Structure 1
Amino acid sequence: MFRILLLLPVLFVACARKPASSQSSNLYQSSDFTAENQFSGNIEGPSFDAAGNLYVVNFKQDGTVGKINAQGQGEVFVTLPNKSIANAIQFNSKGEMLLADFVNHNILKVNMQTKEVSVFAHDDRFNQPNDICITKKDVLYASDPKWKDNTGQLWRIDPDGKTTRLLENLGTTNGITLSPDEKILYVNESAQRKIWKYDLDDQGSVQNKQLFHEFTDFGMDGMKCDQKGNLYCTRHGKGVIAILSPQGKLLREVPLKGKSCSNLVFGGKDKKTVFVTLQDRRGMEQFRVETPGK
């Protein structure tokens, strides 16, 4: 009896380690989340609401927002008016959906109960709002590229919809995200292949611009941070997600099946699943990671 009792803990430890090893071996390995051709070629902007529902723009066709279930199957949640096409989604603290509408140069707001769509912010100086991120205080930041001449702007949009142009005469501003403590704003320039970091002051303005990382090939699109501050960047055309340390060091690249990755979001119950939108496959892939998303 004594010997059996000694062996039992050993067996338990051995059994406990096996699933951990199995899970570890599946990290950073991409697989299909949705079927191909479920979206238009402008698939973008994946975002979860507070209840864990996933929304992605341009489901089936341009101008829609799709609601995607845990099995990767979707339905049209709302169709945008006035031929608007959204490129990014964020949710504010009230649970309202905010959309970057690059056609009509707006930030749109969707009432999630009535599905009413209204203009939350508009500025005649907008080029075409592209990607957005939001703070816990509902301050929105928007990239605003002008693709025809590879320039761009950076905007802050306050909770009341007031617009402030923070910077102009930038490169083609595209992916944008906040650090976990919301003290740093990351903005990439697709054509220039540069990621910049800005310190945010108490008023929400940017300062102390620093080059965070520069790639020598391929473009960039959406970005997100994990809870440790590592930056996940879509490498559009290369078909990988580049993971960069808070110091800007390339830690690894996660290969995808598709090449035209446009954006990503952390999700799942533990926020350790990364969901990626692929414009060439017109669908989504997913992979598991060690650190939860912001």
Structure 2
Amino acid sequence: MAITSGRNFWCLCSSILLIVATPPAAAETKLFESVQVTPADEYTHGIEGPAADLDGNLFVVNFGKPGTIGRLPAGGTASEAFTALPEGSVGNAIRFDRNGTMFIADYKKHNIFAIPKGGTELAIWFHSDEMSQPNDITVARDGTIYASDPNWKGREGHIWRMAKAADGVVQGQVMSSPRAMGTTNGIDLSPDGKTLYVGESSSGQVWSYTIAGNALTDPKLVKAFQPDTIDGLRTDVSGRLYIARILKGSIALMKPNGAVEREIVLNGKEPTNLAFGGSDGKTVFVTQRQGGFIESFRTDQQGREHCLQRGRC
């Protein structure tokens, strides 16, 4: 029988105790790996317009039937009914401003609805029969709303600017541009609010514009994808663009100069739009037309809108 000295025995026991007492390192969620969050067919073929509030709730249009809004609670795996739009109205986009007000673009009745923070009652914030839709919207730091307004049959479009005047009345008009636009769709602002990014679905092109009051100036072609393969887009706080590649089944993560950093592979093939959420604004939720569900992945930067809601952008 081998004899172990007291000193060696103590060292051996200490090592064993150390190994037992030290818990294994927690597995970290891998970035850019998308997983399905909600069951299939919760939403209609018109699933769109995701937006998250600071409590971690995700809101998505057309839950169960057109004209509704669903809510996915923070950490949840199934959506629930939140509210319904007036008869005949159908939402296509949701955004939040710095005060937590929810704005909904109604493409059927040409409205922008507003719901105050913590409420469920809708009010018409802006309406114009001159609009073809609106389709997607984005909110600036000062509360100005920019909306894409495509004419799908004519394969053309415009951008609307809407803001409160000194008397508190919301005024809106089509923004002038030095170039004729295609079917304007996905839209978002740069972190400093000076540049507006617009995706044109018909051409598959993403353009940037400098905002000068009611005018869009200095148009630049950022990236040309294949025609009819882009939908919604969002920006993060570093200025990168996340573009829903509908029919391609991915999100293109792109620098402002048009260089694609990566293509994030999704579970479904028809992503319509995306939104940043989660406690740190670094979870990207994607609405999937193919299957009518929501999926998500983690990224390394928080979204501009999430930062805006916290009053930091």
TM-score w.r.t. the length of structure 2 is: 0.84
| CA positional deviation for 1:158 | 0.4
String of CA shifts for 1:217-252, please: whole Å, max 9, x gaps.
Answer: 551111111111110000011110001012110111
- 8 Å CA contact retained: 1:155, 1:167: no
- Superposed, 1:242-261 pairs within 5 Å as 242-261=252-271
Q: In the alignment, what sits opposite 2:152?
A: 147
Query: Do residues 196 (structure 1) and 207 (structure 2) align?
Result: yes
Q: Note the C-alpha offset of 1:132.
A: 0.2
Distance 1:17 1:193 in 2: 47
Q: Which structure 1 residue ranges, 5 or more long, are not aligned?
A: none
Residue 271 of structure 1, CA deviation:
1.4
Are 1:184 and 2:198 counterparts? no
Q: Give, as a single letter, the amino acid of the residue that structure 1 aligns with 2:174.
A: R
| Corresponding residue for residue 123 of structure 1 | 128
The 1:292/1:112 distance shift into structure 2, 3 A limit, reads: closer
Q: Deviations over 1:94-137 (max 9, x none)?
A: 33221110111111122455522222111221001000000111
Q: Which residue of 1 aligns with 2:54?
A: 50
Cα distance change on mapping 1:194 and 1:78 into 2, 3 Å:
same
Q: Give the alignment partner of residue 74 of structure 1, picking from 73, 79, 96.
A: 79
Residue type at the aligned position of 1:209: P
- Asked if 1:164 is matched to 2:184, the reply is no
Change (3 A) 1:54 1:189: same
Tell me which of 54, 57, 62 is aligned to 2:66.
62
1:288 pairs with 2:263? no
Give the alignment partner of residue 276 of structure 1, picking from 280, 286, 295: 286
Shift of residue 93, structure 1, vs aligned partner: 3.2
8 Å contact from structure 1 (residues 198, 209) kept in 2 = yes
| Runs of 5+ unmatched residues, structure 2 | 1-6, 305-313
State how far apart, in whole Å, the 2-side matches of 1:166 and 1:279 are.
Answer: 30
Distance 1:149 1:289, change over 3 A: same
* Inter-CA distance 286–205: structure 2 relative to 1 (3 Å threshold): same
1:218–1:238: 8 Å Cα contact kept in structure 2? no
Paired with 1:17 and 1:189, the residues of 2 have a C-alpha distance of 49
CA–CA distance in structure 2, aligned partners of residues 133 and 195 of structure 1: 16
Q: Which has the larger radius of gyration?
A: 2
Q: Report what 1:32 is aligned to.
A: 36
* SS of equivalent to 2:131: coil
Per-residue deviation, 1:55: 0.9
Match of 2:310 in 1: none
* 1:46 shift after superposition: 0.7
Tell me the alpha carbon deviations over residues 181-207 of structure 1, each in whole angstroms, 9 at most, x when there is no partner: 111110010010100001123x36421
Shift of 1:172: 0.4
Distance 1:36 1:171, change over 3 A: same
Code of the aligned partner of 2:32: Y
Q: Does the residue aligned with 1:126 lie in a helix, a strand or coil?
A: coil
Look up the equivalent residue of 2:171 and give its one-letter code.
K
* 2:230 pairs with 1:226: no
**Shift, 1:18, TM fit:** 5.9
The DSSP-based 3-state class of the residue aligned with 2:130 is coil
Cα offsets for 1:133-176 (capped at 9, x unmatched)? 00111000000001112111111010342102104741000000
Percent identity between the two aligned chains:
38
The 1:270/1:17 distance shift into structure 2, 3 A limit, reads farther
Of stretches 27-36 and 215-224 in structure 1, the one that deviates more from structure 2 is: 215-224
Q: RMSD between aligned alpha carbons?
A: 2.3
One-letter identity of the residue aligned with 1:284: I
Question: Aligned-pair distance for 1:270?
Answer: 1.6
Shifted more, 188-197 versus 53-62: the winner is 53-62
